[in-house]
Chains A and B, each alone.
Chain A
Amino acid sequence: MSADLIASSATKARQLTDAEIKEIEHEMELYPDKQAVGLEALKIVQKHQGWVSDESMQAISKYLEIPVADLESVATFFNLVYRQPVGKKVILFCNSVSCWIMGCDDMRAHINEKLGVDFGGTTEDGDFTFLPVPCLGDCDRAPVMMVGDDLHRNLTAEKIDQIFTDYRSKE
Chain B
Amino acid sequence: MESKPLTKNIDMSRPPLDIAAYEANEGYQSIKAIAAGLSPEDVLQLVKDSGLKGRGGAGFPTGLKWSFVPQGENSPKQKYFVVNADEMEPGTFKDRLLMEGDPHLMLEGMIIGSYTIQASTAYIFLRGEYKASEYALKKAISEAYDKGYLGKNILGTGFDLDIILHTSAGRYICGEETALLNALEGKRANPRAKPPFPQVSGLWGKPTIVNNVETVCNLPGILSYGVDWYHGLTKGNDHGTKLFGISGRVKTPGCWELPLGVTIREVIEQYGGGMQDGYELRAFLPGGGSTDFMLPEHLDLQFDYDEVAKVGSRLATGTMILLDDKTCPVGMIGNLMKFFAHESCGFCTPCRDGLPWVDEIFNEFETGRGTEKDLQILHEHVDYLGPGRTFCALAPGATAPLGSGLKIFAEDFDRHIKEKCCPYKH
Contacts and interface: CB of A to CB of B under 8 A. Distances in A.
Contacts of A134: 88, 90, 170, 172, 339, 342-343
Contacts of A80: 128-129, 168-170
A160 interface: no
A35 B321 contact: no
A117 to B, nearest CB: 20
A17 interface: no
Interface residues of B, number: 54
Nearest to A150: B131
Contacts of A97: 90-91, 289, 321, 332, 335-336, 339
A135 B171 contact: no
Interface stretch (B45-53, B245-253, B379-387): B245-253
B129 A146 contact: yes
Interface stretch (A7-15, A70-78, A161-169): A70-78
Interface string B126-152: 011111100000000000000000000
Contacts of B108: none
A39 B186 contact: yes
A36 interface: yes
B422 to A, nearest CB: 12
A31 B87 CA distance: 23
A95 B255 CA distance: 20
Nearest to B167: A43
Interface in A90-135: 92, 95-98, 100-102, 105, 133-135
Contact of B169 (A39, A95, A100, A142): A39
A77 B179 CA distance: 12
A54 to B, nearest CB: 19
B231 interface: no
| B168, B169, B246, B323 interface centre (most CB from chain A within 10 Å) | B169
B248 A137 contact: no
Contacts of B214: none
Interface string B150-181: 00000000000000100111111000000000
Contacts of A42: 169
Interface in B80-117: 87-93, 95-96
Contact of A96 (B184, B289, B345): B289
A136 B129 contact: yes
A98 B95 contact: no
A135 B169 contact: no
Interface string B329-353: 0011001100100110100000000
A105 B127 CA distance: 24
B227 interface: no
Contacts of A31: 186
A78 B171 contact: yes
A109 to B, nearest CB: 13
Nearest to B346: A77
Residue from the set A32, A33, A135, A138 with the largest chain B CB neighbour count within 10 Å: A135
Interface residues of A, number: 41
Interface in A53-101: 73-74, 77-81, 92, 95-98, 100-101
A140 B247 contact: yes
B328 to A, nearest CB: 10
Contact of A101 (B89, B188, B249): B249
A136 B185 CA distance: 24
Contacts of A45: none
Interface in B298-322: 319, 321-322
Contacts of B255: 140
B253 A139 contact: yes
Contacts of A39: 169, 183, 186
A118 to B, nearest CB: 15
B225 interface: no
30 contacts: A33-B186, A35-B186, A42-B169, A43-B167, A74-B187, A77-B345, A78-B171, A79-B171, A81-B169, A92-B129, A96-B91, A96-B335, A97-B91, A97-B321, A97-B332, A98-B247, A101-B323, A101-B324, A134-B90, A134-B339, A135-B92, A137-B87, A139-B253, A139-B319, A140-B253, A140-B254, A140-B255, A142-B253, A146-B129, A149-B131
Interface of A: 30-33, 35-40, 42-43, 73-74, 77-81, 92, 95-98, 100-102, 105, 133-142, 146, 149, 151
Interface of B: 87-93, 95-96, 127-132, 164, 167-172, 183-189, 204, 245-249, 253-255, 289, 319, 321-324, 327, 331-332, 335-336, 339, 342-343, 345, 426
Given A77-B345, A78-B168, A141-B253, 14 more contacts: A39-B169, A39-B186, A77-B188, A80-B129, A92-B129, A96-B289, A98-B90, A101-B247, A101-B249, A134-B339, A135-B90, A136-B129, A137-B93, A138-B93
